[in-house]
Amino acid sequence: MTVGNGPMSMVVQGAALVSLIWSCTVFVVQAIGISQLFRHHSGPLPKPVSPSLEPDEVPHITVIRPVKGVEVGLYECLASTFRLAYPKSKLTIYLCVASTDDPAYPVLQQLVADFPGFDAKVLVEEDDPLLHGTGGHVNNLGPNPKIRNISRAYREAKGDIVWIVDCNVWVGTNSAGRMVDKLCGFLPDGSRTTPYKFVHQLPLVVDIDPLPTAEERQRLLPTTHNASPPTDRTPRGILSHFGGRLEEMFMSTTHAKFYSAINTVGVAPCIIGKSNMFRKSHLDLFTDPARNPLLSPRDAARGRGLDFFSSYICEDHLIGDLIWRSRLPPQSSDDDGGAPAPRFRNHGLVFGEPALQPMAGMSAAGYVARRVRWLRVRKWTVLAATLVEPGVEPLVCCAHLAFALTTLPWFRGGDRGWGAGVGVPPTWRAMALVWALAVTAWMLVDRWVSGELRRLRSVDVDEHTPAFARGAGRPGGIPQRPFGEWLAAWVGREVLALPIWTWAVLLGTTVTWRGRRFRVRMDMSVVEVGGGTRESSAPGSKVTSRPNSRNKDRID
């Protein structure tokens, strides 16, 4: 591997310098993310401020939960909304489902019955007056099934704050208060800081072993809160849901580190539509071409608020991106001559309050399909980040580092520069050794990070907290992963990362979206392929048939 002094040597050393800069940048970004995770997720959080304000000062929240089919832990995830430590009079809860034929519909009815006294309602898409009945039409919204599901809930929201939480997400009892504190700028000492336009939570996946019987897996109604989930640690039991292990690994290592780091630096929007809170007045303003110069006149046909995104896939990123880029009009001073109202920051991650998604029974093939869909729907929204994604994974990033250390003369030892005490020989064997050591160090750090996140020490626990949300080490909580089992998932996740990226980004543009196949275009609009009714991809496009309410093929 010895490099000479000719022109080719300069090219190789230039490439090695780029590799060194890239790998060091990735390490710095990871360090930022890790420091934030340990700072905010390693212990209990202070109590939120907003729930204890005077009644007329507590902001009203409309919680919108789109539901599609029966998910694992569905009852407990949705019930967590009713168990929020937030004034009941300041909560409106809308549980949204496409049809009364959806298998989740009886669960939603039971939830409303089990928690009387709440301003809660089950909203069925088939009853939406915008889409059905006198004056309505099924084509009034585009094909995005999630937007069609929650459009009515958004239009009928009470108060200004809207909190959209996926049905397969469990939220902690104090999460509403902490989200509102961040959004509105409430501080513990009674003062106010700069509010945000948009706040969200760190998504984490907890893979639990399959429930004992098929009946329990389908019913998924509340079980004993303090009991740990059943454990099947036989090779067959682990392999049957190895995809869940891979998903849990990805969300608690690579994704958690970079998600936290990017949201700390705040150079670009980085969100996932698991749990997002914003103001309805802001989104209505930002989706109005007459009041937002970022939009063109042709966007006027796309509706307002959430309806603006109904013809597009990846609505979570598009909503966050539009809120990020849009500016609010100047605010005047108070009548008494006071200072202007505070400006708004863009996005704020509510550290320490994860959005927990329980998962069970996902195969490795299911994980691969899920990641392919994920990458394809986000490819055109964050193209640059998607293209460099393989370089942030350990196997590739550590190869960059090993190439740089064994190529640049600074690290050869002697009196030749920075590496006088390093002495890395320019050989293939040395490169392999450096790569192996770097990957091992990366793996050990991931073991540490994922172990800390799995403990969920920042999550508030009470008698209603399900086992998957109690964390490892707490009574009735989930166990910590044995190292051998954890290592198998880590290696599997990292080995699959590059093939999945190649297949998703370079070799296809179609996704299976709730039972129908769509091609994703560069503007993030979608067109149906493979038979059936085609969907227009133009802004303001119409849909000619309802999504299949019984299909459980999700992209989130």
Does the model's pTM come out above 0.95?
A: no
In angstroms, the Cα distances linking 190 to 49, 53, 193, 195, 412 are 8, 9, 10, 14, 58
- According to DSSP, the β-strands at 91-97 and 119-124 are parallel
> Cα(467)–Cα(229) distance, rounded to whole angstroms?
7
Confirm whether 380 is domain-assigned. Answer: no
Confirm whether 352 is domain-assigned. Answer: yes
Confirm whether 537 is domain-assigned. Answer: no
Residue span of the structural domain in which 250 resides: 41-210+239-328+343-366
Lowest-confidence pick of 121-130, 235-244, 383-392: 235-244
- We report the CATH number of the domain holding residue 348 as 3.90.550.10
Percent of the chain with pLDDT over 70: 83
Confirm whether 268 is domain-assigned. Answer: yes
Containing 375, the helix (H) or strand (E) segment is helix 364-378
Contacts of 10 (CB under 8 A, 6+ apart): none
> Cα(463)–Cα(526) distance, rounded to whole angstroms?
45
Task: Show which residues are catalytic.
Answer: 316
Confirm whether 397 is domain-assigned. Answer: no
Residue 532 has pLDDT above 70, yes or no: no
Confirm whether 321 is domain-assigned. Answer: yes
Confirm whether 371 is domain-assigned. Answer: no
Residue 10 has pLDDT above 90, yes or no: no
User: Which residue reads 């890239």 in tokens?
Assistant: 22
pLDDT tens-digit map of 410-436: 887 655 444 445 678 888 999 999 999
Structural domains counted in the chain: 1
Which one is predicted more confidently, 255 or 134?
255
Q: What is the phi/psi pair of residue 382, to 5°?
A: -130, 65
Residue 312 has pLDDT above 50, yes or no: yes
Confirm whether 84 is domain-assigned. Answer: yes
